[in-house]
Amino acid sequence: MFDLTGKVALVTGASSGIGRGIAFALASQGAKVSVAARRLDRLEALSAELKGRNHDVLPLKMDVTVRTEVDAAVAKTIETYGHLDILVNNAGALDYSPFLEMTEEKWDLILDTNLKGYFFMAQAAAREMAKRNSGRIINIASVASGGVGIGFPQLVHYCASKGGVVAMTEALAAELGQYNILVNAVGPGGIESEMTRDMDAGSIAGRLSVKRLGKPAEIAAAVVYLASDEASYTTGATLYVDGGWLAQ
């Protein structure tokens, strides 16, 4: 079950946290994995660790907000492995800013990284996937995506970006189905990572059915499922992995 042998995946934001966990999970199920992020030193360390476990991995220095770098990363993956089966859009930015003081620059930074970057990656990957009439795009959203009863002060730009990710996921699923490309999202709750280290973990855990923060591997497990053949009838969905946050 969930065997990804022979599949090729590209994971953005793979240098730490959830992205790193996803890279390990996909590789452990047999996928060849391109790992992309801005911090090449961390990618090289990750690659060395994965190769030490006999996994096939390609580190790619890339900024998702730069279209030419996105196109180059997809092209390098195709050049190296011959095709691309799975894209995991995970690269993200988080910034706390009171709405009345929020600058255009801060708004643009978050939206460009968390939404436009996903668009760049999805389009570049889908163009290649369409040639083979097969593919999976998995977007990392959030419980902070709107429509689920959870709002976060000082994170209006972040919430707007993640709401856009869910909407884009549904629209892409409708449009790309003709190419047998399935598009889904995973919505993490509070997960242990660099991005959440400044949050009040105790306060978050108190809102959950499972009284702790989640671990990157628990998000990665959902991604592996959506990348697998077992999820062949799932598209346009957002799978929330949030310790019961939405149930409270």
Are 28 and 51 in contact, with CB atoms under 8 Å apart? no
Given a cut of 80, is residue 209 above it in pLDDT? no
Q: Can you list the pairs that 100-105 forms with residues at least 24 positions away whose Cβ atoms lie under 8 Å?
A: 102/156, 102/157
pLDDT of residue 167: 98
For residue 245, name the pLDDT band (cuts at 50, 70, 90).
confident
Q: How far apart are the first and last CA of the chain?
A: 32
Token pair listed for 236 = 């346009």
Task: State the Cα–Cα distance between residues 70 and 67, nearest whole angstrom.
Answer: 5
pLDDT of residue 40: 95
Given a cut of 80, is residue 248 above it in pLDDT? no
The contacts of residue 14 (CB under 8 Å, 6+ apart) are: 20, 22, 23, 35, 36, 37, 43, 46, 90
Average pLDDT over residues 196-225: 78
For residue 89, name the pLDDT band (cuts at 50, 70, 90).
very high
Instruction: Quote the CATH superfamily of domain 8-239.
Output: NAD(P)-binding Rossmann-like Domain (3.40.50.720)
Task: State the Cα–Cα distance between residues 191 and 94, nearest whole angstrom.
Answer: 13
The model carries a pTM of 0.94
Average pLDDT over the chain reads 93
% of the chain with per-residue pLDDT over 70 = 94
> 248 versus 72: which is more confidently predicted?
72
Kindly compute the dihedral angle of the four CA atoms of residues 88, 151, 209, 165, in this order, to the nearest 10 degrees.
-20
Amino acid at 159: C
**Please, which residues bridge with residue 200 across strands?**
none
Lowest mean pLDDT, pick from 30-44, 117-131, 186-200, 227-241: 186-200
DSSP string, 45-103: HHHHHHHHTT--EEEEE--TT-HHHHHHHHHHHHHHHS---EEEE---------GGG--
Are 88 and 138 in contact, with CB atoms under 8 Å apart? yes
Given a cut of 60, is residue 190 above it in pLDDT? yes
Average pLDDT over residues 169-190: 97
Kindly compute the dihedral angle of the four CA atoms of residues 20, 25, 31, 35, in this order, to the nearest 10 degrees.
0
Given a cut of 90, is residue 234 above it in pLDDT? yes
> 194 versus 241: which is more confidently predicted?
241
Angle at the Cα of 225 (from 221 to 228), degrees rounded to 5? 135
Average pLDDT over residues 170-176: 98
Active-site positions read 158
Instruction: Give the number of other Cβ atoms within 10 Å of residue 165's Cβ.
Output: 24
Domain ranges of the chain: 8-239
Instruction: Give tens-digit pLDDT for 116-137.
Output: 999 999 999 999 999 999 999 9
